[in-house]
Amino acid sequence: MADDFDAIVVGAGIAGLYSLHTLRERGFSTQVFEAGEGVGGTWYWNTYPGCRVDVESLEYSYGFSDELQQEWEWTERWPGQPEVERYLNHVADRFDMRRDIKFSTRVVAAHFDEERARWNVTTDDGQVHTAQHLVMASGTISATKDPRQDFKGLDEFKGEWYMTSGFPTEGVDFSGKRVAVVGTGSTGVQLIPIAAEQAGHLTVLQRTPAFTLPAKNRPMDPEFQTAMKARYPEHRALAKTMPFGVPIELPTISLLADEPENVQRRLEACWQEGGVAPLMNLYTDVLVDEKANEVVAEFVREKIRSIVDDPQVADLLCPNTYPFGAKRPCLGTDYYETFNRDNVSLVSVRENPIDTFTEKGVRLRDGQELEFDMIVFAIGFDAITGALNNIDLRGRAGMTIKEAWANGPNAYLGLLAADFPNMYILTGPGSVSVLANMYTSIEQHVDWVADLLVDMRERGRATVEASHEAQEKWMAHVAEVGDATLFPRADSWYVGANVEGKPRGLMLYVAGLGVYRGICDEVAAKGYEGIEFQSDPVGAV
Ligand code: FAD
Ligand code: NAP
């Protein structure tokens, strides 16, 4: 059957491309379905002005092929979306991937056929395809929040409105217009300074201020790039063992035990260096101890007050409702400076939220009306579970993933869900996922899954799934490790707080990638402990 595969992969982002390459190399017939017209996932969809990476380019790239990493030349410290998209297109061409990717094709349903031990996968062109294995490379941050679900009246608005994910690729013309940006997370923080340069007037509608650290972007130093390439294989090997999937000096001292003047000097050095990693990894106690955390939080607030001229605006920009780092800090270029511009105003919609959109703009709860020509929504994603829930995904006995995860997502190692045999969730709930460089997280997941599939083939196994017991134990461990940190204290997408009605709980394993990799390797070495196999399901082909 031409339409029957060893594996179907959903998504052609970083995870889908590497899954295709690896599974093909291991001799599995593999078909990828991708909703977009091109490869890149995140870097295909997020074409808003200012979109760029917050992990350094020489790290935020594949390590599986030395030829690839030697030949690609990065031009910036934090590459912009177009450069990352170009890189991923280069990868797709270099490894001849496109022949096994069906673009503009959305998977709408995937049902596990218990009799035949195969997945029946339905795409939006009405075709049904079958495969033994289903690799969900559908993205952790790919299901965008629809503003029509968060807000009333958007259909009444007579101006233009856009979402940052799926932003028109030809760009939009802000010039001279009264523009509003809703949302001040990583996306809003990147977009706002650029929109401000062009707009007639920019109004930022902020619900929760973010901790924004300076990016200090710069062109790539050719000598630095050459030196890195000379030691790339050792560097990548080390990255795999590190908590954040990037070789860095790990913290050894506690902030609270350090002399106050040393603390300020060290914090200042991190600020001057730019990037998220230095401040997050300076001390051992910043993400676990409230007092230590408050020192860093106050350091950032002081920076905001020193940059922003209007004290009232500065106050509104100071985050004080959650600990520093418990949500991903944002990387900005001239973000706080932007609020000193005459054509920029900040409106807090925290106490006085958006009531409804109107023909001319927006009405806040207190009745205040603001008029705009254009609104851009940077309101985030139904992260981690959204892309899975968007598919009619059914495992054993027709159980849907929504039913299985009604009280919160459950997956052994964040990878395998009980009752969903032969399905692999890449960077799923309960894995380290975005808490590490995603390339390192993804390569680890795909390699582990590929080894599992080879093992199954060699042993003639038809199905694999997590045991309920192993899954419960893993998720309890994820929660326990998380509870020892400050991560659960923030209303973030990490805990599902950004989507109304979503079950609340930390969905990321905060112990770090090195520890996580060790656990996954040990599970495999023990003959896939916690995982159940079937060799001969009734009627299996
Ligand atoms: P995605 O890139 O999300 O790809 C998933 C693909 O699956 C998409 O193309 C989507 O169209 C497709 N898909 C989903 N559902 C279906 C379906 N039903 N049928 C068919 N196709 C489907 N991480 C970092 O580590 N560092 C960063 O600097 C960084 N910056 C980011 C910036 C932005 C703006 C965003 C949104 C995320 C960022 N991330 C970053 C996280 C980023 O998502 C990952 O680094 C990485 O790109 C994820 O790759 P992926 O292949 O797992 O998923
Ligand atoms: P986000 O972090 O979830 O931020 C969304 C913003 O929209 C928040 O300020 C949020 O306020 C606001 N918002 C949401 N719903 C709202 C509503 N109904 N009314 C008013 N405000 C509302 O989403 P994001 O900025 O797209 O970033 C998501 C993740 O993508 C990041 O954490 C990061 O992992 C990744 N990313 C990385 C980069 C990078 O630097 N490389 C860039 C972009 C994205 P509340 O906080 O109050 O909910």
- Rounded Cα distance between 506 and 478, Å, is 8
| Contact predicate 227/343, CB 8 Å | no
Mean pLDDT of 21-44: 98
**CA–CA distance from 392 to each of 369, 389, 403, 405 (Å)?**
41, 7, 11, 13
**Among candidates 374, 203, 276, which has minimal Cα distance to 52?**
276
Check if 112 has its Cβ closer than 6 Å to any atom of ligand 1.
no
Backbone angles phi, psi at 128, to 5 degrees: -115, 130
CA–CA distance, 50 with 416 (Å, rounded to integer): 36
For residue 16 and ligand 1, the question of a CB distance below 6 A is answered with: yes
- Kindly state the tokens that stand for 33: 């379905």
Distances (CA, A) of 292 to 13, 213, 282: 38, 18, 11
Backbone angles phi and psi of 303, in degrees to 5? -60, -45
pLDDT value of position 357: 97
Neighbours of 404 (CB within 10 A): 19
Q: Convert the pLDDT of each residue in 460-482 to its tens digit.
A: 999 999 999 999 999 999 999 99
Q: Whose CA is nearest to atom 45 of ligand 1?
A: 438
Site residues for ligand 2, CB cut-off 6 Å = 53-54, 141, 150, 182-188, 190, 207-208, 328, 331, 349, 354, 378-381, 434, 493, 498
pLDDT band at 48 (very low <50, low <70, confident <90, very high): very high
Strand partners, 9: 32, 135
Q: Which two tokens stand for residue 54?
A: 């917050």
Model-wide pTM > 0.85: yes
pLDDT of residue 350: 96
Ligand that lies nearest to the alpha carbon of residue 348, given by its number in the listed order: 2
Distance between Cα 254 and ligand 2 center (Å): 30
Q: For residue 522, give the amino acid letter.
A: E
Report CA(41)–ligand 1 centroid distance (Å): 5
Structure tokens at 452: 């599992």
List, for residues 380-426, the tens digit of each pLDDT value: 999 999 999 999 999 999 999 999 999 999 999 999 999 999 999 99
Please give the backbone phi and psi of residue 141, each rounded to the nearest 5 degrees, phi first: -125, 60
Asked if 106 and 123 touch (Cβ cutoff 8 Å), the reply is yes
For residue 1, is pLDDT > 50? Answer: no
Chain-wide mean pLDDT for the chain?
A: 96
Confidence of residue 537 (pLDDT cuts 50, 70, 90): low
Residue type, 63: G
Q: Which domains does the chain have, with CATH numbers?
A: 4-143+383-534 (3.50.50.60), 146-211+325-380 (3.50.50.60)
| CB 380 less than 6 A from any atom of ligand 1 | no
Task: Return d(Cα 270, Cα 278) in angstroms, integer.
Answer: 5
Query: Residue 185: pLDDT band by 50, 70, 90 thresholds?
Result: very high
Residue that wins the pLDDT comparison between 393 and 249? 393
Q: Which letter does DSSP use for residue 145 in this model?
A: P
Which residue type, as a one-letter code, is found at position 218? R
Taking every pair of Cα atoms in the chain, the longest distance, rounded to a whole number of angstroms, is 73
C-alpha–C-alpha distance, residues 274 and 331, integer Å: 8
Between the CA of 381 and the centroid of ligand 1 the distance, in Å, is: 11
Q: Shortest CA distance to 136 belongs to which of 381, 443, 387?
A: 387
Task: Please list the residues that pair with 162 across neighbouring strands.
Answer: 376
Contact residues for 479 (Cβ-Cβ < 8 A; gap 6+)? 505, 506
**Is the CB of 181 inside a 6 Å radius of any atom of ligand 1?**
no
CB 59 near ligand 1, within 6 Å: no
Residue nearest atom 20 of ligand 2, based on CA coordinates: 207
Q: How far is the CA of 42 from the centre of ligand 1 (A)?
A: 4
Q: Counting atoms of ligand 1 from 1, which one is nearest the CA of 141?
A: 43
Give the atom of ligand 1 at the shortest distance from the alpha carbon of 17: 51
Q: Say which ligand is closest to the CA of 184.
A: 2
Q: pLDDT, tens digit, for every residue of 123-167?
A: 999 999 999 999 999 999 999 999 999 999 999 999 999 999 999
Instruction: Specify the ligand 1 atom closest to the Cα of 48.
Output: 34
**Ligand 2 atom at minimum distance from 51 CA:** 42
Cα 431 from Cα 48, distance rounded (Å): 28
Q: Is the CB of 387 under 6 A from ligand 1?
A: yes
Task: Give phi and psi for 534, each to the nearest 5.
Answer: -125, 135
Query: Does 540 score more than 50 pLDDT?
Result: no
Tokens representing 48? 């808003």
